[in-house]
Structure 1
Amino acid sequence: MLITSIAKYLFLLALLYPHTVLAITSEPDPAESASLYEQALMKFHSGEIDISVIHLKNALQADPSFLAGHVLLGRSYLEQGYASLAIKEFKSALTLGADKSLLVEHLARAYQLQRNFKQLLAEIYPGNYGKRLNAFILVARGEAYFQLGRLGKARLEFADAEKVDPGNVDALLGIATVLLRQARFKESDELINRVIALSPENPAVWYTKGALYHALSKFEESRKFYSKALEFSPGHYQAKLARAGVLMDDGNYQQAEKDLYLLYKKSPEDPQVAYLLATTLRQNGSRKKASEIMKEAKQHLEILPPEIINDHGPTLFLAGLISYDLQEYQKAKSYLTSYVTRFPQEVRPRIVLATIYLQEQALTKASKLLEPALDVASNDIQVLLLLGDIYMRKREYFKASEMLERAARVLPENVGLMTSRGLNDIIRGLHDKGYPKLKEALKRDPQAGAAGFILVTSLLKEERFQEALEVARLLRGKSPDNPLVLNLVATTQVEAGMLSAARNTYLRTLQLVPDFYPGQVNLAKLELVERNLDKAEEQFLTLLEQWPDRLHLMVELARVNVLRGSLDKAIRWLEKAYRTDRQFFGAGVRLVDLYLRTGKNLEALRIAQEMKSNGGRDTQGSDIQVLTALGRAQLSTGDALSASITFKKASEQASFQSLSSLSEIAELQSIAGDLDGAIYSVEKFIAAYPGKDAALIQLIGLQLKRGRLDRAAVGISQLEKGGSTGVTERLKGDLKVAEGDLQAALQHYLLVLEASPVSSVAARVSQVYLMLGKKDEALVFVEGWVERFPDDDMLREILAQGYLSLGRLDDARVQFESLVERGRAGALVYNNLAIIYNTQKDLRAEDFARKAYGLDPDRASILDTLGWVLVKKGDSEAGLRLLRNAFARASTNPEIRYHIAVALKQLGRYEEARLELEAAVKEGVGFSELENARFLLKELEQLGVQKQ
């Protein structure tokens, strides 16, 4: 509480300056000083801090060198919340020779109160202080790093504190808070539960657990835990305020008002409570009462001298908020400017101050104030929306479009950061509540363009195209000549498949503002959508000539060439963009992808490692993209262990703005063989966004792979309660396969197919028949399926594979060739056709083998096929190089050894060929060319006898 009573504070106010106390005597009077100190000490321990300060100031007037007086006065100021005055006294005491162990804890608390975390880190270190104090110092340092956003450093300090003092509750809660900030909710909750077991009556534990559930927007649970904190500490101020804050965030302003009234009645002079209560009253329609209480909050602040307000950061910010609410904008600007100057890393005050500038039409001031906030919080949705609005009014449409698009990208992951109730509902997944609120906001406020942009974008992500079009048209009706609105309408039309209408809207936009850059870019993108690649390329090149610094245009030109199949040209564009700015990770990540697609795995690894070393401008999202790209590159070079470590880092670092990437990371972790890591990633996503069926389905699949059948069964039961019948039956089948009950699995799969023809389930039916040893039934089933669904390419390929495995080469060839004719052939289809053609001595074998190799140059089976085709053609040297590479990737495959032996024999290297054949025959029981291998081995042995 900032002030205990007006009367007491007025009395205290008279004691804060030298001229209000007794005149300093000419000579020190140690006796008087000591007497006054003892009186002060008794008052301090009885809680009468104000009177204690009087005695101490008089004691130091009597003897300025009285060390104990400086220490106690500093502690008294600290109790009152006056950090600068406390620090001054502590520094005086140290100068006079005070033992630092006596002051280090108080000095650290003063810096915390002052929010001077850098100074705390510069001055406060553990030392020869004993276990308890060293643990406190390490925790304080951890909290300082945490406040500065350096979570890794914070966690190390907290961990060190726990090592110094095992079971230290503050250290463990510090780690839990870091995990919470990193969106590692499950781990945070587990650690908090561990601390609860250690200290079940510690209110800080329950307060932290409340904060965890508050962050997850689980408001009911959050309130429960804040209430638990208050059971053990009824006066826990932060828990009371936080509980009221939960009610406000949940939109329960009626109950929030009741709770805040209780605080207000007990402490009517606390401006923070008054401010929150006034805000709640206004939401509940009591505008007159809200205004009265807000004015009271102002009065409580005005009795504070300016230096006290400026010294206490929260009070300074509160003063700005209260002045803003009362429309005293000059005062608000003064307070908020002072706050931003002192705490430039803080984003919220910048937002409020920029809003004032916006109201005053001081658009340039507003944008200059907010732009630095992007360096601190690049994905803060309020900053992005406000900047989008400012740029829109400045007619800087490109910048406006960029900000609003970025806001739309982070919206689904940005939990608990929105003041708009409609947007907050959308974030929490309550779309049916959120969308009507936003639409109502648009109807009330024609200028609510940012909210409209977010609403349309959210509806598009939900594939609710008609609703998105409805809102876009509403915006257009209110701002028919706003190019940004027209651009949004056209984009919505593209997503809805109305390409002709979209083209007309884009053209209308450019008629109004010919140099409207977002419209020009989107028109070129529309050419891409319609596969008018030459037109798209021409338009992007023209734009690049006009805007050579817009590197994303090079990325678009790369996309054009990818669609053409000109991957080398696409790579050159991306290389140019990345070389121009090595922190342009948008180009770098795509470059890694194309390097991987074209077999340049070491180049991909080099670029990914370089990006990781460089760091980026957008650390919120790009770090995850870079780590994911690095892991993929590591996987491509066969380094699954390093890839697993990298993917684990990406998963751990994924925060609110990047949680959507966890699904992809989990898939890659599974490929790398780290099923536990993959499970962690999906569980982390589910902890943040419960109720997402797709994530639960992915988790169940991973649990089945991991052999955790009981957990998979629990997940299936949970999914079934949600009504996902088809998926549930399929997963039940998968569970039965894992349990070995193939007949039951078959029944589940057939139930799915009765309801809907699902290719992946049909493939499972075929596989179960094969596992049961019923090859004929499997083939009949797949033949019947392909006859019923001739466009099902997955099953057609399975059918072709079945024919190939049975040696029915002509039937297999027909099915594979059908896939090629339909444009559905991938690397394996081309490879299998090459095998068939090679066996049948068809000259097309080499062409198809090379097509397969061009699509997947690192797959052992494809390298083997092309190498064998070349060997049979007589080009043994070229073939052998490919076969060696194939063997390096599949060293247990005896067929590759046989092919190598044939190549070696053709090159006259008989002894080496014999050794390869001996290994192949020894390893390869049952491989298709075993008899040929034995025959060649006997032939070589005979040649060897002749040589001897």
Structure 2
Amino acid sequence: MGCSSDNASIEAQDHLDRSLAYQQQGQFRAAMIEARNALQVDPADDANLLHYANLLQEVGSSSQAEQLLEKRSNSNNPELLLTLAEVMLDQGKYISAGEVLSNLDEKELSNDTEYQRLQAIQSYLSGQHQEALEIYADLLDTHPDDPQLVGDYIELLLQSNQLTTARTAISSALGKFSDNPEFLYQSALLAYRQNDLNTAEVQLTEALFNLPETDIMLPGRINTLELLADTLTRQGKPDEALIYSRAIRDANPEAYAARQQYLDALNAASLGDLATARSTFEDILNQFPNNRQAALLLGLLRLEEGNIDEGEALLSQNIEAETAPVNIIRATALAQAEQGKPKQALAVLEKALLARPDDPTLLSLYGVIALSQGEEQAGIRSITKALTLSPQQTRLHLLLAQHYEETDQIDLALGHYRSAFEKNPADWPTTGAYLVLLTNADSTDTSGVMDTLATQYSDQVDALWLMAMTHYRQGNLDQAQSRLNQLLEIDPHRTDALIAKARLLSQEGNARAAVPYWLSVLNVNPENRTALNELVRIQSRQLSSQELINWLVAQQQSYPQAAIALRSVSVELAVNEGRLDQAKQIAQPDLHSEDPYARRIRANLLRGEAIVAANDLQWTIAIQKTNEALAILPDNTGLLTLASRLYQQTGDSEKAITLLDRGIAYAPDNLRLIMEKTELLQRGSPASALSYLQPHWEKNPSEQLAVQYFPLLSQLRPEDMPAAANLLLDNQPNSVSAHMVLASHSLNNGDHDVAVNHYETALTFSPELVPALNNLAWLKRDADPERALSLAKKAANLAPESASVLDTYGWLLHLNGESEQAISVLDRALALEPDNADIRTHREQIELSTQG
């Protein structure tokens, strides 16, 4: 083993020596090949790793060097850790670099020039500019002829805009190192910034002459060429500038092409052409998988397109929170939070805030996510700091106020709302939330806020809207109407105001006066289904179906933007009424349009043809027409239901279920489809139907599902009925069917008082529920005979054809001393059910009592 290890070390050293030789000759490609070979032969030797990392750094690949060195970030080798810190600083990652430097023994390295140099750069990047420059000044006192220290010092002076000191330092450096290309470049940069373009050109040309020739264009040459091209362009020498730009391009054509693609993608995105931008970024990543910038921007595009999963993944995998722009950090954290990864989002923001501790955007976002995770103190502290830094951002007051509202700290919430209102009453979302809380708290401050809005903002629609809604919440409907009228005079097309006006009129019992407002809503926004449904609901109370269709068609001229929506509902109503010819006539303008309403119109015509065929028992044609309609609206619940029923008529239950499953896959909570499938299964096997319905019930117990679930459960597992009813009550406390189940269960168990309570509650929500009236009347016959008789009479009036209800009513008439009328009622009951022994017995008992 020892011999093998020695051989590996010797071989690795050979590769390393050759790599160093190639590096000195400027043959970096060969140098990196030999460096990789050395590392592959002897990966444990830090010298091999450090040499390869230094090569990567020299050719401008600091990020790759960092990835290489991070694998040994737990090393005790100071040289390795110093190199890792340096490549991090090259990328601006001063926080990560600071963490690495903090792991080194400061006392042991107190006199180490490289350690002090990196400490200075880390301090500078963290904002401690003067401290960094002082460290460099001390180092230069000890090492005045160290070119790297001199170059770093000059660069920091230039970045700090200390141009006079920089000029002195550059002159001193060129006095000692007249042909040093870095100092020549820095001198040219200073001249360029002072618009001394001739001096800049001369010194850049000299710097190029003194730069070593290499097979890979190094960052120093690229920077020099770029500045020289810019200088020549500003001098009016574009042809000469183009020569140097081409030199950069020709040195690395692939990178140039990728950069051009990158710029093209950015341009496409700025013009709104997201598809082209996305495609271009994807091409870049296929060629250069490690291009973080392209990956981040592709992630942003994915979010913009609504693809949160892929967008979040791209951003999370490529984000460098220390150096990324705030907008990318914000997008990443929001996407992570939306994807249920709040801890990741907070971690990204924590790292970003180390680099930007005073950024209000990051602080407020951190606060919001922290509060959502129950980290109250951290969240409040972060938002409060953001508010201190940016006191005019009243939305920060809103964030804190909403938190205090949610935690029932109303006084604190009102305090933040009050501060926001004092700073900016025209922050309408915040002022709106303030008014809602004031109204709910019945605060006397409401009038003051309303007075401010009325006197200072009476011509602004948002203020009028808030005043109208506040009046409405206070029950001042006339004042609410007045403010809405003012608003609509200024902006007659504001949808929320039109809707509010229509609802207020309906609430006051003047639904017909609301019709023009609903029409206006539809004219502004033809996609507003609520407006369309309200129009049909209101007018159907006044008009026959045919009159309603004619009225809808007639409104098209006055409301042209709503015309296609009106035709759509007219066609649907005509088809429902079996007036297919009229539907086709109405649909004429839309037969070749691809508008969503037009597609709905054509689908409804096909539905009408399917219904006609089905009525004639032409099942094949009916199915064909329904399938054509489904090709237009593939996820339409009504069409899927119709198609399923048609297939059932042909005996193809499997196809019927497949269609229903298709709809349920698209809309897993669609109760209409779930219940349709349950009904279909029940015909074959009640147990299968219950098994299918059970998970839907457990997920969302509802009054609608109870219509099917309770009968199936009663038939197959009656012992589970009380638990099912209680589950429904937990989800819907006003559930009448749940109270009826529990009442029946209590009645059967002899617990009459509990049964009475459940029947009473059911009648509170459904006063004309005959079974509850009938059973409660029977249970109350002794304790409250007068009320019992009243309940029984109401039940009998509602269900005059129910023998059992008439039986209860007749017997209670008898108990209340009205035997003659009781016999008459029981005779009606016997006429309905002549063989009912209980009713006959009751009649005989009453007749005997009257004879006695």
TM-score (norm 2): 0.39
Q: Point out the structure with max Rg over C-alpha.
A: 2
